Amino acid sequence: MIAGIGTAFPAAVAQDVLWEGFFRDHFGGARVAERIFRAPFLRRRHAAVNPVLEDVSGWSTGRRMRRYAEEAPPLGHRAITAALAESGLDAADIGLLAVVSCTGYSTPGLDVRLAESLALPDRVQRLCIGHMGCYAAVPGLGAVGDFTAARDRPAVLLCEELTSLHLQPPTSDPEQIVPHALFGDAAVALVVRPGGRGLELLDVDARTDTSASAYMTWDITDLGFRMGLSPKVPDVLADHVAEVTADLLGRNGYGPDDVRAWAVHPGGPRILDTVREALGLAPEALDASWSVLAEHGNCSSATLPLVVDELRRGGALDGGGPVVAMAFGPGLTLYAALLRAG
């Protein structure tokens, strides 16, 4: 049962400020870049490293990882503290801390730093889930859910991404312009406990289409991590999203008309439109996803939990019922979870 959700963000920066203050010059005033940056569905993002103030595009990967080690722990600490407070649990109650991130690595890592700052018990188990990308919150939730069911102890899942650290050198490649226009930073923590009130995790499903593995990549280079993002991604998702959803609902005794709310990872406008069309959803069904995209951008693994939190805070889950959550990433992979509000 998801008993608490906590969020934490670095400072916000408006999309037009990012364009005018840095990216217009960075991309040489290219019209295609301006069109993408000025899209009406984007308002602002959060950045631990604001390029208007600090250009890290020439930094080595080592320097970026050192900065991650400075910025990530306090942000994650804030998110977990908020989630614990909402759940009514103390740090001493936690049996597992699972940390999801594909934007920074070190050993001892973020999990150890957080275990120390939160004063978690020295016997707490830890799990790090890295380099799975935007869908990683779902297998992470599945892992902590399995732990909670098997051990009858609460667990914490933290999804934290600092995409701003991976600003790349200037380029005219649209596949690089799009992620620079969309991605933002965030930390979201979920406390999962056995029983009680909250959002119940019922099931998890996945599909990986390896024939499209080259369409979404996240490569470690000497100058940070570089994303490859093909415009063909929505077309591949269109081939699988209806089947995965039908399987997930059907084996749990539900049909599409039973779904109370949809939490869809807003990887971009075409992805949201593709999912809505493939599932035959009403336009307003994905309002929470559009809202998160506008206010926070694509925060990789942290984005789907933000959408779930947006649904919850907006009252969409007050009446109870099943909720389908789905996200997409490298592989090319679609991961989906069936939740039940109650």
Catalytic residues: 134
Q: How many CB atoms lie within 10 A of CB 18?
A: 22
Secondary structure (DSSP) of 151-184: H---EEEEEEE-GGGGPPPP---HHHHHHHHHB-
Q: Which of 104, 249, 237, 233 is nearest to 166 (CA)?
A: 104
Partners of 228 in beta bridges: 217
Strand 333-341 relative to strand 199-208, pairing:
antiparallel
Residue type, 56: V
Q: Which sign, positive or negative, has the C-alpha torsion 27, 28, 30, 36?
A: positive
Cα dihedral 210/159/188/8 (nearest 10)? -120
Q: Which of 282, 273, 214, 204 is nearest to 238 (CA)?
A: 273
Q: Which of 213, 189, 229 is nearest to 96 (CA)?
A: 189
